[in-house]
Structure 1
């Protein structure tokens, strides 16, 4: 389930605060001003530092500090491992909780914000948030020795240590010692309950796997302070919200605990919304109760702890999408500038447009959804990937926005995303294409380890589309796609025949017969037709007339990579008809001058003509056109253009006057921090450049060795190995002995 993670909105009533012995909380408006004021935070920090420290005059104080720091209970020692994008998402979630008075987690929020900002590299902001946490916790306790300060002082000790401010760090360690002496934990050898509670709350913010651990820490805290209702409520929420996107049945004990928690904490609207959602998932009709809760939530819906998003999910579970949208619009009407409510509203419109199957959404609704999503993306610029995905899907449902949706997905996939974000994107792309795009362009993204499973385990249902460089790009996924609503045989066949993109591997008779049958079964599939022609061209058949016939059909709509145009260009290459490949590219570009994919294809055709044709020197005008195209393509694919940069360097090398520019480009590429697979590609291509263009044969061998020794099986590694073996076979190179020893010592050499 989406929204605040498990701990949310555990806000005790005034009577509960008194019962919990926290009469000084929440702070008054004057106290709130002091807490939020940087000057107030600074005064508190100086007061903390003014306490005497036993380390100040200790000759070995500095030596004691690291081990002492490691023993602290605080964010820096809790193994809060998260990627940068995850940290940013949590940071934004904390902002959406708000800082209104009455939030018992306010000090915890500031502590976690400080830790996140430290890890994001914002040291002064980290210092400020930790100081705000100090101020907030001072309002909770009547003295500097309040146990709720333990985690905060530990964070400050670590922060000052990392900043090289050892005196300040030792001062906080001293204060921690004093605090522990004056306020020992209620149970010997146990953490303070306040520490347990804050650790539990913090763990829940990072991933669902830690929610059970968080529930355990809350249980330990409650055991020592049974009157703390927020801790009891949060423990239960940690248990019941572990499975956000699943309809996992809750056992009877948990449901009974939920009933008791609602009686114990009747004003907690987030808890009430979670209860309704659980019951709705069990099939109960809770619509009337949802309407009653809606009125209460709308009194103050601005915080992510208000329960509004969970109530929207109740309406979704009941398939009352209009009521979810109506709730969002009501909240926005009262609070038009609250970004969290705009995010919730965008979510509701997405549900209505994508999940509601009975009728096509009105254009006005689609326009409102697009507008909201665009605004939300601008309000969450560093944590908006899922909203960008949602926007692409809304465009896809608009009826006229498929091209825009595809463009958005391609732009997202070209970014340098973290693995977890790539996984999200590939999953959403596969799902969205399966639901929305034409059936000949459905995709499902799987890890590369699923290659054989795609062919065998899926029973031929899906066709494989390998990344453009095979295994040589370091790509972490293989896209598996249904090209059309075809038979399983066709998809299985495409998976098999496209495995060896760069090789002239003969296809056996059975496979060729399968191809013939597939074309009869699916006569309008132009991509399949192009693959068939390419296979036959590789076998030496003269398929030029059929290629011309297919060209006319493809040029009717060549803009997609699934049109078959690139494969048809490869047919012309196989036939050594480079001019016809270029002519096809230019025809497609003339009809569609702004389509970057066609520009990429055109650049490829020109590189074939210039680099592969040996009969004559290419004209200056052709080289100029090739260079211009490659430069434009590199700008259009800024994060996935290595091969095009290599090709551009080779264009310069072939120009007759550009060897110096080519060498400069290669050196610049080799200075980058590339992944091993990309380095392998670069070394292989540079070795060939050295051999053919610069006639530097020894350096060429050295770079083939560099490519071969990178432990990444690929076409490029094998190609470099083959080049080295040829040197040995010819026996004329003075490095033959060195090459032989190199190959013998190469890992896996026994299978070469």
Structure 2
């Protein structure tokens, strides 16, 4: 058999493996640095019973960066951990690692080593009476795939959810499967938090995960945040305090506890916790974004207390917090260039600072992106519309972007704000020109959206009359 034939046969076998090379993980080049940083943070700071998968993911990232020797080192660490941590099921857990070994060696051109690891996988598949030569079908494999997808960002969350659901069908009370499913559900709930009528499904899953994993402080603080979202803040704070009293996974506990206290309005406490977490993980885009949000909240507090007209020392404080927020949002985007929401937050701070050219450039960046959460694009269009209306004094462009915001997604608070802003602007135009056909048509559209069908029909009829009158006057000519 020729060398090419050998290579094709090996490749045919490799694609049957279930591992990071065959799971179709959606990772853009611009996301790679942030992903690697988050993986390394988890390895160092998250005290977890489930560490084999994260070393496998690190190996895959190293391969994508062209560092195959370092990838092999991470796989050896994963293999050692599998032997130590997965007593009784180390062979099953090792199948992913062996599959990754085979792929890395294939890319290095070491076909003999590829075959060694293919043989290991095949022997394990036979041992557990699997139907396929190189593919294990078991809930542990579904769980491993779920963890990998979950770590690789929002584009992969729905697939991660399906993996954990499949694993739980086989073993409904498995602590690890429940933890992965609950975290995925919490992230997906967060994506739809702005949608009206969205009923989150993560609360009872997080409760179950905490019951099955009482020492897991990471999932405990996520439960606290979800309870806060559901109006059960007092119970949530109980879990926050329990997690803070525990010394495990403190870097992760600090960042989520800080989010809890920021949302409660305890900004000094939130900033204190974020600075503690930042000492351990100074390159966390998440932390820098959260610090920026705290500074933004400080601005809002001062403006609210001064009836939106801060003067003298209050004005100085606002200006200081604006600059601090800008620094943090810029840092977050340097670390994670795909951080869509941070672009919107940064553009709004540039507007606050009067740096309109920078605001324009930042809005354009996010408006050209395809955010994972369509509500992020809705928010960008809404705030860009406000920017066009009040800073750039362009009513035409403001209308365009309010309309774009309205047409995105389901009913949401942001859609309502966009409708109200559009309606105010168009009514203002009609005061100047009561026969403006475009304004009348837009008001008809807005009333139709709000279910005011009689009012909508009235505006459409008025617009039609004005258009007809205009055509007639043009047709008669001078």
Q: TM-score, normalised by structure 1?
A: 0.45
Deviations 1:632-677 (A, max 9, x none): xxxxxxxxxxxxxxxxxxxxxxxxxxxxxxxxxxxxxxxxxxxxxx
Aligned partner of 1:390 among 320, 345, 356: 345
Contact kept, 8 Å, 1:153 with 1:173, in 2: the verdict is yes
Deviations 1:32-58 (A, max 9, x none): xxxxxxxxxxxxxxxxxxxxxxx9x99
Name the CA distance, whole Å, in 1 between partners of 2:117 and 2:378.
47
2:382 is matched with which residue?
A: 431
Cα pair distance change 1:136/1:492, threshold 3 Å: farther
Contact kept, 8 Å, 2:217 with 2:243, in 1: the verdict is no
Cα pair distance change 1:293/1:413, threshold 3 Å: same
Q: Work out whether 1:99 is the aligned partner of 2:38.
A: no
1:492 is matched with which residue?
A: 438
1:302 is matched with which residue?
A: 251
Q: Work out whether 1:195 is the aligned partner of 2:146.
A: no
2:414 is matched with which residue?
A: none
2:273 is matched with which residue?
A: 330
Q: Alignment partner of 1:407: what SS?
A: helix
Contact kept, 8 Å, 2:351 with 2:359, in 1: the verdict is no
1:137 is matched with which residue?
A: 82
1:320 is matched with which residue?
A: 264
Q: Map of 1:400-479 to 2, 5 A cutoff?
A: 401-402=353-354, 404-410=355-361, 413=364, 419-420=370-371, 427-434=378-385, 438-439=389-390, 440-441=393-394, 442=398, 444=401
Contact kept, 8 Å, 1:127 with 1:159, in 2: the verdict is yes
Name the CA distance, whole Å, in 2 between partners of 1:64 and 1:91.
32
2:291 is matched with which residue?
A: 345
Q: Work out whether 1:208 is the aligned partner of 2:161.
A: no
Deviations 1:540-590 (A, max 9, x none): 99xxxxxxxxxxxxxxxxxxxxxxxxxxxxxxxxxxxxxxxxxxxxxxxxx
Q: Alignment partner of 2:251: what SS?
A: coil
Name the CA distance, whole Å, in 1 between partners of 2:169 and 2:260.
32
Aligned partner of 2:328 among 372, 383, 392: 372
2:232 is matched with which residue?
A: 284
Q: Work out whether 1:249 is the aligned partner of 2:207.
A: no
Cα pair distance change 1:134/1:58, threshold 3 Å: farther
The alignment of Structure 1 onto Structure 2 pairs a total of residues equal to: 411
Name the CA distance, whole Å, in 2 between partners of 1:490 and 1:95.
59
Name the CA distance, whole Å, in 2 between partners of 1:484 and 1:283.
37
Tell me by how many angstroms 1:219 deviates: 0.6
Q: Alignment partner of 1:191: what SS?
A: coil
Q: Work out whether 1:275 is the aligned partner of 2:223.
A: yes
Name the CA distance, whole Å, in 2 between partners of 1:220 and 1:105.
20
1:151 is matched with which residue?
A: 96
**Which segments of 5 or more consecutive residues in structure 2 lack a partner in the other structure?**
309-313, 409-417, 443-463
Tell me by how many angstroms 1:72 deviates: 1.1
1:162 is matched with which residue?
A: 107
Cα pair distance change 1:246/1:423, threshold 3 Å: closer
2:413 is matched with which residue?
A: none
Q: Alignment partner of 1:204: what SS?
A: helix
Q: Work out whether 1:233 is the aligned partner of 2:179.
A: yes
Aligned partner of 1:218 among 151, 156, 167: 167
Q: Work out whether 1:72 is the aligned partner of 2:23.
A: no
Aligned partner of 2:117 among 153, 160, 172: 172
Name the CA distance, whole Å, in 2 between partners of 1:87 and 1:271.
25
Q: Alignment partner of 2:49: what SS?
A: coil
Contact kept, 8 Å, 1:349 with 1:369, in 2: the verdict is yes
Cα pair distance change 1:324/1:185, threshold 3 Å: farther
Q: TM-score, normalised by structure 2?
A: 0.67
Name the CA distance, whole Å, in 2 between partners of 1:302 and 1:62.
46
Deviations 1:169-221 (A, max 9, x none): 222112222333445579xx972343222012123334332243033133146
Contact kept, 8 Å, 1:211 with 1:239, in 2: the verdict is no
Higher helix share: 2
Name the CA distance, whole Å, in 2 between partners of 1:131 and 1:91.
18
RMSD over aligned CA atoms reads 4.8
Contact kept, 8 Å, 1:377 with 1:387, in 2: the verdict is yes
Tell me by how many angstroms 1:241 deviates: 3.9
**Which segments of 5 or more consecutive residues in structure 1 lack a partner in the other structure?**
1-54, 452-457, 464-480, 497-507, 516-535, 542-752
